[in-house]
Structures are given as structure tokens and as C-alpha cells.
Amino acid sequence: MTTSVQTKSVQWSEMIRRVDPAVLVGLVVFTVLALVDPGQVPGSAAFVVRALIEISPFFLLSIAVAAYAKASGAEHLIARVFEGKLKRMIIAAAVFGALSPFCSCGVIPIVAGLLAAGVPLPPVMAFWLASPLMDPEMFIISWAGLGLHFTVAKTLVAIGVGLLGGFSTMLIMHRGFFASPLSSGVQSCCKSSCSTKKASPEVEWKIWRAPARRRDFRVASLETGWFLGKWLIVAFALESVMIAYIPPTFVAEWLGGGNWWTVPLAVFVGIPAYLNGFAAVPLMASLIDMGMMPGAAMAFMIAGGVTSIPAAIAVFALVRRPVFAWYVMLAVAGAMAAGGLYQMTLL
């Protein structure tokens, strides 16, 4: 009997693990709505459809940009960033990280390979912090949802957080910290299988000339479209729920009004609650319309982008505990500074 129960438990665990997180969240949202307030379901569904139609030009452009970067092999330019003098490497890594098409989880194997290949921690930290905060798709989607001013500011913040992480890590390493950042198990694994030297340095910008690259473009378009589309559907569904049930006065009271604790609250809510970078855009746009301080929105997106739970778990498994703690401290400090400074520019 016990064996049968254990087998069923394993089967359910495996089934849950295979369910797409975005699909699961979407099903939960509409299931709860159907149980609690059935009359809201048609309204939320119509809201999602209208929002997708409005954002479709930006959506299609972001897919094309991401697919082209993948098909051309532009991601292989990363190896060239981590060459030269340390300070130059930090600056280049922060800028490239803010412009590269890597999410907070996708950057983990790259970081592991860089560290295992002997790349110094400061430029890797700069890249690690900047990369999840902005990429070509995020720029386009943010422009559509939050405006060009906010999007450009977030791009500059991504570079700034990367520079903060890189140079502060360089200073603290001069005092003898973080001599061996990778955890022992990961280090031995990566030395044999994760080296960045294996990445092909070839980049072909004229992808239409090569059938294989045209095929890569089509595949990447479908993958990116599915990834962005499912999270945007979730985001718009949640936005419709917020508009229906959260009073604007509540948002204005807790996340607006210029209270000293507004930005810190947004940071510490953003760290565990961050859903997905793309899903956060329409949610933040809606909250700003309801009275949320733009600086608090910036702080939320920066904190959540770097320390979202899936990414934090991966970082925790990859590096030694002091490096992980330092990573979180840099993320919190960068988010606090970003929110406060951005709000000051609007006064």
C-alpha cells in the first residue's frame, strides 16, 4: 500500500514538474475567477484579447529581433567581451549584459562556464547582474507598456547595476574575498563540460544566405513567440483582475505618495513575487496608472529581475554561499538606488 502511494506521489510530482509555469498560472487565474466571480471571466478574457491586439506590433518586432540574434549567432560575441584589462572588461560586460538576449535563468550556464574557464569574478558579476534586467525583447515590450522614458532609464539602470556589481566586487576581492567563487561540485563539473571555449565564434549577419540559419530563425521565432505570448497572456489576465478588484486608492496609499518606505517596500515585494520580466511590464503599467510611484515600479522590476526565485535557486546552487549573499546584497542595493534616483529625476 505504501509503495503504491509513493508511486502515485512520484507520478504527480513528475506531472506537475512538466507543466509549463505560465500555462499553470493562467489556468489557476481563470479557474479561481470562474469559482469566485464567474461574471468576471468574459470581461477578463476580452481584456486579454484587446491587450494582445494593441501590443501585437511590438510583440512581432520583439520576436523578430530575438530570432535574428539567435540565428546570426550574435550570442557568441560574449567571448570577446571577457578579454583585456579588468576595468575594461567590467565596463564591457555591464554594457553587453544589458543588451544581450539572456534571461536571469538562461545566463546561469554561461556564468558557470566563464568562471570555470578562469574569467575573473568582477566582470562576470557585472554581466550576471545586468543581463536579466534588459534585452532586445524586453526593451521593445517595455517601450510599448511603460513608455520610452522608463525603458531607456531601465536600460541605463541595468548598466549601472552591472558596473556597481563589477567594481564593488573588484574592490572586495582586493581584500582577499571570493578567491574561489564556484561551489566545489559545480567547479569540477564545469571544468570538463561547461567551458566557454566550446562556443563557436562565428557570427553571420546575413542569415538569409544560409539555409541552416534561416531554419534557426524560424525555430527561434516560434520558441520566442510562444515564450513571450504565454507570459503576456498571464500578465494581461492578472492586470484585468487588478483593475477589477484593487481600489486605486489602496495602490496610491501604499505604493504612491512619496513615503520613505515606498521604494524599499517595492524592492522586498519584488524579490520573491516577481513573476516574469515580460509579465511584469503590463502589471507595472497598470499599477502606475492606479497611483504607484514610477520609482517604486523601477525598484520592483530591478529587484525581481535579478533575484526572482528560479534564478536565485540556480545562483545558490552554482556559487559558494558568501558569493550568493553578495549577489543578493548587490541586487537589493542596486534596486534601492535605481528606484530612488529614477523618482528624483521625475520631480
* pTM greater than the 0.85 cutoff: no
Please name the residue ranges forming H helices in 147-201.
148-173, 184-193
| Cα–Cα distance, 270 to 255 (Å, whole number) | 12
Q: Split the chain (347 residues) into runs of 10 and give each run's mean pLDDT.
A: 50 55 81 88 88 81 79 70 84 87 63 73 88 84 88 93 93 84 57 44 77 87 82 79 73 68 81 63 82 86 74 69 88 90 83
The pLDDT assigned to 169 comes to: 93
The pLDDT assigned to 113 comes to: 67
DSSP state letter for 117: T
- CA-angle at 177, arms to 339 and 271, nearest 5°: 30
Phi, psi angle pair for 182, to nearest 5° = -70, 145
| Cα–Cα distance, 135 to 6 (Å, whole number) | 43
The pLDDT assigned to 41 comes to: 87
Minimal CA–CA distance to 138: which of 165, 110, 157? Answer: 157
Minimal CA–CA distance to 294: which of 262, 253, 319, 250? Answer: 262
Contacts (Cβ under 8 Å, ≥6 apart) of 54 = none
The pLDDT assigned to 248 comes to: 63
The pLDDT assigned to 313 comes to: 62
| Cα–Cα distance, 312 to 273 (Å, whole number) | 12
Tell me how long the chain is. 347
DSSP state letter for 77: G
Straight-line distance from the first to the last Cα atom of the chain, in angstroms, rounded to the nearest whole number = 67
The pLDDT assigned to 159 comes to: 94
The pLDDT assigned to 164 comes to: 93
